[in-house]
Amino acid sequence: MKADKQGGGLIWPDVPRLAFGDNGTRPVAAVGWSLRSSIRMYGYVEGYAWAARTLYAEALRHAKSPEYVIFPLAFLWRHHIELSMKWVIALGRKWEGDTEGKAASGHDLMKLWKECRTHLEPMAGDEPDDTLANVGFTLEQLHRIDPGGDGWRYPVELRADPVAVQTSTSLAGVPEHVSLPQLQEAMEALSTFFDCVAMQLRQAIEDRGEAAALALEFAPHPLDDFPDF
């Protein structure tokens, strides 16, 4: 069996092809650098957002089959928001004394949001109260439609019971029609919010580290109090 390469430039597995490597073609992703970075979580957070924005732009450019695009688009955005909150939680934990800054686990957006609020409310300052309420409102929609983080990936719920997998449909609460621009705007708002929170926490952590280093630099030396001989 072979594909008709004359009609659409289809690539066929006629030879063994290495998927992960650098054969000299561009662009090249510096994965090793990203994984070794002190803020390696940022690559994951931003990566899904960039993918969502690129997919959305292509959907608008081609203006066809939004019924197919909605699944990967909504998944990319949901996962980006989930990772954004986990990053905020990790930074918040580090700010509050967890030297490792351990990230949270699980896919329950409302549980993640609950802990997120404990880290960001003390730093909110003059931020209007309705901002947090607005964020929670959109998050609740994401959670209600896809509580486990797999609804946009599979047409059935993933459960241990094989019978349930065959009979339980995912995305039970999704509306009949979803506007892609409306979804994009709501997700961009959440993305901007969590990005600002993460930057504020990172800056606070860096400032504290610099302050500690400065205090150590100008601390009295133990020998300063010794008498002259």
Interval 102-151: pLDDT, tens: 778 899 999 999 999 998 876 666 666 799 999 999 999 999 999 999 99
Q: Which two tokens stand for residue 25?
A: 């073609």
Report the distance separating Cα 88 and Cα 124, nearest Å. 13
Domain contains 7: no
- Other Cβ atoms closer than 10 A to 83: 21
Phi/psi for 156 (5° steps) reads -130, 155
Domain contains 174: yes
Domain contains 49: yes
Give pLDDT, residue 164: 52
**How confident is the model over 25-50, as a mean pLDDT?**
87
Domain contains 2: no
- Threshold 0.85, pTM exceeds: no
Q: Chain-wide mean pLDDT for the chain? A: 84
DSSP string of 183-201, one letter each residue: HHHHHHHHHHHHHHHHHHH
Residue ranges with strand state E in the chain: none
**How confident is the model over 153-157, as a mean pLDDT?**
86
* Res. 1: pLDDT tops 60: no
**How confident is the model over 50-62, as a mean pLDDT?**
95
> Which residues span the domain enclosing 33?
26-215
Number of structural domains in the chain: 1
Domain contains 205: yes
Give strand pairing partners of 156: 169
Report the distance separating Cα 121 and Cα 137, nearest Å. 17
Band of the pLDDT at 186, cuts 50, 70, 90? very high
Give pLDDT, residue 9: 80
Band of the pLDDT at 226, cuts 50, 70, 90? very low
Domain contains 55: yes
Band of the pLDDT at 18, cuts 50, 70, 90? very high
With a pLDDT cut of 70, the percent of the chain lying above it is 78
* Res. 171: pLDDT tops 70: yes
CB 28 within 8 A of CB 22: yes
Radius of gyration of the chain (CA): 24
